[in-house]
Amino acid sequence: MTPSPEEFASSVLDWFDQHGRHDLPWQRDPTPYRVWVSEIMLQQTQVSVVIPYFERFMASFPTLADLAAAELDAVLAHWSGLGYYARGRNLHRAAVLIRERHGGVFPEDFAAVESLPGIGRSTAGAILSLACGQRHPILDGNVKRVLARVFGVDGWPGQRAVLAELWRLAECCTPQTRAGSYNQGMMDLGATLCTRTRPDCARCPLAGRCVAQRQGRQRELPAPRPRQELPTRATTLLAIFNPAGEILLERRPPSGIWGGLWSLPETGVPASDSASIADWCQDRFGFRPERVERLAERRHTFSHYHLRIELARIALSAYPARVQDGLGYRWSAPQTIDDLGLPAPIARILVDLSL
């Protein structure tokens, strides 16, 4: 039969003590700041990928005060390649807010933590349980999977009623003591044994008491999101080089795709239409390229659409007066692009172009 909340929690805790992960970088010296940064990174990326990012981030911004004092661009540069750049921006904004609201000390009040940008109920619970020993439930993807399987929760967790049931279970299973170890154990269980495909039920502490395992429904729980056909959108990016061989970068608007990041100038004009590209350059930058060379197109897939990227290369024989560093534009040598926060597809294009 399914375990009682107390049996469930003690099984998870016993398993965690013997088989959980105890040597992750943020578990050494688990301050609220370090746990916070790790949790934000882990929202979008798996542990093995996060570790080098976390180490680099902590080397550059060892304390909350360092993060709050840092330039946003420096923070985004450390986020480059992780994706979800809004999270890097929220991290920086929250650090500034903590300096203003809480004298630079990470708050330990749940409502205060949850009100910070980029921190919701689950992340607030994770920080305060792992770093401060408080009792709060968490509900990340790993925990959702474990609970849905053990207690046989049907339906897609994106549905309101399903999510509410999972939170109810998360709340009632969280033990009165050692909530942080329990939460870490739940995440470890979901990440190492109770994986999405091919769960290792033979080693699971809940074996025999898990609805999904007893009914052979591990593959069906939790139910996947109903899927929809993705539309394809097209855009054209311009690789414009000055006589020194530097490439022109443009800062994107703060919201939307690649918000606030440096990218290549974007136009709606098809790359094959070199006359219109030249007109567009004249209009936007005040120079008229002699030659527009179309390059191979690229594809990039987001969660909700495919992006077809057309690419055109333009080499200028003189420096255009209207394009100067600052004001959302900059000329960059290929070897300096590592210092900027560039979306991964753009970084790939620049690497290809510099070969």
Tell me the closest approach of the beta carbon of residue 281 to DNA, in angstroms: 26
Minimal distance in Å, beta carbon 129 to DNA? 13
- Nearest 5°: phi and psi at 194? -90, 60
Contact between 262 and DNA by CB under 7 A: the answer reads no
**Which CB, 124 or 210, lies closer to DNA?**
124
By CB under 7 A, the count of residues binding DNA is: 52
Listed in sequence order, the residues at least 6 apart from 200 whose beta carbon sits closer than 8 Å to its beta carbon are 192, 193
Least separation, in Å, of the C-beta of 190 and DNA? 8
| 90 belongs to the binding site for DNA (CB under 7 A) | yes
CB of 323 vs DNA, minimal distance in Å: 25
Q: Does 18 bind DNA (CB under 7 A)?
A: no
Identify which of residues 46 and 282 has a Cβ nearer to DNA in the complex.
46
Task: Transcribe 247-269 into DSSP letters.
Answer: EEEEEPPSSSTTTT-EE--EESS
Of residues 91, 199, 189, the one with CA closest to residue 140? 189
The backbone torsions φ and ψ at residue 73, rounded to the nearest 5 degrees and listed phi first, read -60, -35
Looking up tokens 């530097």, which residue turns up?
246
Which residue in 5, 120, 243, 328 binds DNA (CB under 7 A)? Answer: 120
Catalytic residue among 39, 114, 165, 310: 39
* 122 interacts with DNA by CB under 7 A: yes
Closest to 136 measured CA to CA, from 190, 181, 179, 165: 179
Q: Which stretch binds DNA (CB under 7 A): 22-30, 103-111, 280-288, 301-309?
A: 301-309
Q: Are 206 and 5 in contact (CB under 8 A)?
A: no
In sequence order, which residues have a C-beta less than 8 Å from that of residue 71 and are 6 or more positions away? none
Q: Give the shortest CB-319-to-DNA separation in angstroms.
A: 31
CB closer to DNA out of 78 and 144: 144
Using rule CB under 7 A, residue 235 touches DNA = no
Q: Does 39 qualify as catalytic in the annotation? A: yes
Residue 67 tokens read as 């993060």
Distance of CA 81 to the CA centre of its chain: 9
Distance between CA atoms of 263 and 331, rounded to whole angstroms? 11
Peptide bond into 222 cis (omega under 30): yes
Using the rule CB under 7 A, is 174 a contact of DNA? no
User: Which residues does the annotation mark as catalytic?
Assistant: 39
Residue ranges in contact with DNA by CB under 7 A: 43-46, 48-49, 81-87, 90, 116-124, 139-142, 144-145, 157, 160, 195-197, 224-225, 227, 230, 255-259, 300-305, 343-345
